[in-house]
A and B are shown apart, each in its own frame.
Chain A
Amino acid sequence: GAVVSQHPSRVICKSGTSVKIECRSLDFQATTMFWYRQFPKQSLMLMATSNEGSKATYEQGVEKDKFLINHASLTLSTLTVTSAHPEDSSFYICSARVERGAREQYFGPGTRLTVT
């Protein structure tokens, strides 16, 4: 089956610093990757949709200058949380879709970010 990895799995950083999270599709090429955020006991909230080679599309309320997304290749997308604050502490999950018409998405294991 399709495998998506994320790195790091857990990160603790100080307020004001930036953190980069990588999402890789290991055994397939992902035309589209999605970034989600999940707060405790809440649903996954889509942050942005990232297509290889083009700018990400951000959901309403998500600051694109704060959450920088790069999808430079068909197997790698990165999310950089810039100038992180404690309220950015959350579980960040990426998912990947093989092709445009595919309904299924494959999820990475998630990255737990704690900002102190």
Chain B
Amino acid sequence: RKEVEQDPGPFNVPEGATVAFNCTYSNSASQSFFWYRQDCRKEPKLLMSVYSSGNEDGRFTAQLNRASQYISLLIRDSKLSDSATYLCVVILTDSWGKLQFGAGTQVVVTP
């Protein structure tokens, strides 16, 4: 079983619509959670950290559910520029800061 699992998509979203997707993690010792964004053939870039109480950054909202071991990302008012692959990233408590990546969820925003 993979440490971090994501629905690969693609999620085809009309411009202006809302899209949400989850990521599940298998290790209950996971301590830190992030969403990264990766454009085609580019390096991942940090989108936002995910905090226990949930957090929002503009049109992006992240939630953490420790009981069910998943995190979610919601994008409101989707823009064409939001088209990308969104990577779920987890750090284990004792992993010396090693990031565990999900394979990513592809989002395609259409005009």
A interface residues (Cβ-Cβ under 8 A, vs B): 32, 34, 36, 41-46, 49, 91, 93, 95, 97, 100, 102-105, 107-110, 112
Q: Which residues of A contact B45 (CB under 8 A)?
A: 107
Q: Contact at B99–A46, with CB atoms within 8 Å? A: yes
Closest residue on chain A to residue B85 by CB atoms: A41
Q: How far is the CB of B31 from chain A (nearest CB, A)?
A: 9
Total count of chain B residues near the partner, CB < 8 A:
22
Q: Which residues of A contact B91 (CB under 8 A)?
A: 103
Stretch at the interface among B14-22, B53-61, B73-81, B100-108: B100-108
Q: Which residues of B contact A95 (CB under 8 A)?
A: 99
Q: Which residues of A contact B66 (CB under 8 A)?
A: none
Expressed in whole angstroms, the Cα–Cα distance for A112 and B43 within the complex equals 11
Expressed in whole angstroms, the Cα–Cα distance for A70 and B32 within the complex equals 28
**Residue in A49, A102, A107 whose Cβ sees the most chain B Cβ within 10 Å:** A107
Q: Contact at A109–B98, with CB atoms within 8 Å? A: no
Question: Which of B41, B46, B49 sits near A112, CB closer than 8 Å?
Answer: B41
Q: How far is the CB of A100 from chain B (nearest CB, A)?
A: 7
Expressed in whole angstroms, the Cα–Cα distance for A80 and B84 within the complex equals 30
Contact with A along B59-70 (1 / 0, CB 8 A): 000000000000
Q: Contact at B103–A107, with CB atoms within 8 Å? A: no
Q: How far is the CB of A52 from chain B (nearest CB, A)?
A: 14
Expressed in whole angstroms, the Cα–Cα distance for A46 and B102 within the complex equals 12
